[in-house]
């Protein structure tokens, strides 16, 4: 006996509707061929909408961005009629760009689901399939889905504290970004994110890896870690690892650096929590801890952004007691089905390893950025980062000038973002699933033209 839902999904009317939706989108995408300025007839209405956003949320949008709802790969159409290259992708979720048929089809299928949201008491089979895939791919036996990266990290910390009770302190890297909830803002190493907020957790910071001084930075990190452990014996529950720092400036560590710290942590029974909310899926392997060869030492891993629905994965050793983890919403059915589609495409689409899509596009972009940086060091330093996480320091690296550059670049047709301090960098999370080398060429022309204009 087959389920009625299976009959619905195989109904020829549904197949026809799905095909017509995809065809209609593709027909309208044909007119999105490259960067274009705003339509003068739409500017006034657009400005009014931006002002409404400012009034309603209490502060203005970082970019004057309101999307139309349609795009084509790395290009996105805004409600003022302009088209821009999107090389930051909402700080990561849109790995397949805009209006990609893979994501459209997943959303269409999800629209047939009996509910919009899945959650605590009611999970569907697509959530189970996603959890099974993530567990199998990571080698970690347990997977708890959540609506956001912040919740995934909160769940990770709850697991760690319960396992290590009565320990109350956390170890983290300098320049780390963990999130903006009340507790996570106390860990994130950026004072502005916790101004006038009450202290909720005690955090001890360890200096991060410096690729210009591998041995020296490793020694300083080890010495600092030992000082914290000596000062607060048995007080630390967990250390949070960003294997590639995102908000901190796209700094990448090394396997040797991480293992030198993990060896000490393991001897003390302190848990290793790998925060991959930003770097998941963007390096040479699906998980960043696999890229760095840390499969045997991680206890807890969080993922998010490009996975659409976020997750906390963990070992049997730290499996929490019933009742610790729960929430009304796991995620929307569209996010769950979108996440499943993303994961399957990444695993089967030739993205990873030597010669994979990530390596090819990254190397191509890095080559162009490196050549320009060598020729014009007063305009660009870098590039930095790893895989599809790329950044460079424009002009003098001051916060004021880099923010101005990023906004001018936005106006010229390329969306990026900022990261780090002293120097501040221009960061990109390139949509590997949507762009080509030709897209990189066109965006690079705009980037360099903007640098020349501001640097003169």
47 domain residue, yes or no: yes
Q: The domain spanning residue 396 has which CATH number?
A: 3.90.1150.10
360 domain residue, yes or no: yes
Residues 288 and 405 in one domain: no
Give the total number of structural domains in the chain: 2
How far apart are the C-alpha atoms of 330 and 144, rounded to whole Å? Answer: 9
Residues 292 and 420 in one domain: no
**CA 260 from centroid of its chain's CA atoms:** 26
Does the structure show a pLDDT above 80 at 1? no
Peptide bond preceding 171: is omega within 30 degrees of 0, i.e. cis? no
The size of the chain, in residues, is: 456
Which residues, 6 or more positions from 151, have their beta carbon under 8 angstroms from its beta carbon?
Answer: 310, 327
DSSP string covering 189-215: S-GGGGTTPPP--EEEEEPPP-TTSHH
Does the structure show a pLDDT above 80 at 456? no
Q: What is the pLDDT of residue 13?
A: 97
195 domain residue, yes or no: yes
How far is residue 406 from each of residues 10, 311, 419, measured CA to CA in Å? 47, 31, 11
Residues 83 and 188 in one domain: no
DSSP string covering 83-125: EEEESSGGGTT-TT-BS-HHHHHHHHHHHTSS-SEEESS---H
SS3 state of residue 181: coil
How far apart are the C-alpha atoms of 171 and 173, rounded to whole Å? Answer: 7
CB 338 within 8 A of CB 107: yes
Q: The domain spanning residue 143 has which CATH number?
A: 3.40.640.10
How far apart are the C-alpha atoms of 96 and 29, rounded to whole Å? Answer: 15
Domain boundary among 348, 383, 407: 348
Residues 324 and 373 in one domain: no
CB 439 within 8 A of CB 72: no
Give residue 196's region: left, alpha or beta (phi > 0; psi -120 to 50): left
Residues 147 and 292 in one domain: yes
Paired with 206 in beta bridges are 173
Domain boundary among 348, 379, 399: 348
Domain boundary among 313, 348, 383: 348
**pLDDT band of 385, cuts 50, 70, 90:** very high
What is the percentage of the chain residues whose pLDDT exceeds 70? 100
Residues 176 and 299 in one domain: yes
Q: What is the pLDDT of residue 192?
A: 87
SS3 state of residue 349: coil
How far apart are the C-alpha atoms of 223 and 206, rounded to whole Å? Answer: 9
Q: What is the pLDDT of residue 181?
A: 92
pLDDT digits (tens, 9 = 90+) for 178-195: 999 999 999 999 888 898
445 is in which domain, residue-wise?
29-100+354-455
- Residues 151-156: what's their mean pLDDT? 97
pTM here?
0.96
Element (H, E) at 135: helix 125-138
Gyration radius from the chain CA atoms: 23
How far is residue 416 from each of residues 124, 171, 190, 357, 407, measured CA to CA in Å? 37, 31, 21, 21, 9
Residues 127 and 271 in one domain: yes
Residues 174 and 260 in one domain: yes
Does the structure show a pLDDT above 90 at 120? no
12 domain residue, yes or no: no
Residues 377 and 361 in one domain: yes
Residues 187 and 168 in one domain: yes
pLDDT digits (tens, 9 = 90+) for 330-377: 899 999 999 999 999 999 999 999 999 999 999 999 999 999 999 999
pLDDT digits (tens, 9 = 90+) for 215-239: 999 999 999 999 999 999 999 999 9
Does the structure show a pLDDT above 80 at 317? yes
Range list of β-strands (E), 229-268: 236-241, 244-245, 251-252
CB 310 within 8 A of CB 124: no
List the alpha helices (DSSP H) in 30-100: 40-57
How far apart are the C-alpha atoms of 121 and 326, rounded to whole Å? Answer: 10
Q: Kindly state the tokens that stand for 118.
A: 């899945």
CB 35 within 8 A of CB 81: no
């Amino acid at each position: 006996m087959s389920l009625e839902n299976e009959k619905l999904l195989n109904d020829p009317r549904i197949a026809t509707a799905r095909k017509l939706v995809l065809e209609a989108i593709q027909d309208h995408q044909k007119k999105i061929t490259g960067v274009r300025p705003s339509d003068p007839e739409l500017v006034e209405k657009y400005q009014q909408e931006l002002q409404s956003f400012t009034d309603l949320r209490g502060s203005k949008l970082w970019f004057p961005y309101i999307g139309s709802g349609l795009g084509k790969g790395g290009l996105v159409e805004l409600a003022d009629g302009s088209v821009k290259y999107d090389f930051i992708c909402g700080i990561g979720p849109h790995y397949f760009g805009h209006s990609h048929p893979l994501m459209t089809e997943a959303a269409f299928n999800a629209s047939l689901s009996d509910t919009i949201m899945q959650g605590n008491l009611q999970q569907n089979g697509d959530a189970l399939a996603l959890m099974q895939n993530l567990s199998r791919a990571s080698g970690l036996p347990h997977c708890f889905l959540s609506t956001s990266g912040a919740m995934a990290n909160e769940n990770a910390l709850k697991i760690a504290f319960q396992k290590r009770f009565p320990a109350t302190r956390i170890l983290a890297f300098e320049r780390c970004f963990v999130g903006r909830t009340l507790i996570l803002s106390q860990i994130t190493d950026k004072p502005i994110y916790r101004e006038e907020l009450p202290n909720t957790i005690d955090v001890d910071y360890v200096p991060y890896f410096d690729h210009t001084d591998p041995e020296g930075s490793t020694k300083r990190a080890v010495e600092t870690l030992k000082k914290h452990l000596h000062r607060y014996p048995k007080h630390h529950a967990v250390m949070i690892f960003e294997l590639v720092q995102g908000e901190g400036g796209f700094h990448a560590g090394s396997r040797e650096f991480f293992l030198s710290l993990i060896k000490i942590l393991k001897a003390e029974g302190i848990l290793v929590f790998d925060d991959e909310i930003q770097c998941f899926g963007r390096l040479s392997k699906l998980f960043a801890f696999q890229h760095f060869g840390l499969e045997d030492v991680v206890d807890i891993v969080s993922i998010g952004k490009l996975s659409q629905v976020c997750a906390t994965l963990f070992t049997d050793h730290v499996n929490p007691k019933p009742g610790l983890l729960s929430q009304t919403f796991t995620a929307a059915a569209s996010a769950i089905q979108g996440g499943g589609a993303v994961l399957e495409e990444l695993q089967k689409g030739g993205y990873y390893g030597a010669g994979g899509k990530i390596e090819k596009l990254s190397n191509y972009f890095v080559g162009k950025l490196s050549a320009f940086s060598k020729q014009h060091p007063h305009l660009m330093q870098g590039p930095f980062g790893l895989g599809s996480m790329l950044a460079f320091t424009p002009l003098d690296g001051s916060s004021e000038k880099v923010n101005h550059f990023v906004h001018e670049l936005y106006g010229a047709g390329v969306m990026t973002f900022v990261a780090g301090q002293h120097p501040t960098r221009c960061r990109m999370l390139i949509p590997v699933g949507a762009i080509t080398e030709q897209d990189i060429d066109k965006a690079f022309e705009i980037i360099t033209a903007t640098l020349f204009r501001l640097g003169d």
